[in-house]
Amino acid sequence: MARSQSRQVDPLKELDRLERRHNKLKERVAEYEARLFLSNSEQLDLLKLKKEKLATKDAIQNLRTGPS
């Protein structure tokens, strides 16, 4: 029989994880933006990275202040 346990996530650990993720995404976005030319697939990758970076930033903000 499987046990159903809800794992509590330590907010400080989650905040640290999200901040590290955000910084990595920020670096990857900067790498793309430093290029003079992007292929169509690179432009799509950049768009996805920016969306993920924004979602991560929103998650960080929610942890810091609580959902609005």
List the chain domain ranges: 11-63
pLDDT tens-digit profile of 34-54? 999 999 999 999 999 999 999
**32 vs 9, higher pLDDT:** 32
The set of residues, in sequence order, having a beta carbon less than 8 Å from that of 59 and lying 6+ positions away, is 18
Question: Using 50, 70 and 90 to split pLDDT, how confident is the model at 1?
Answer: very low
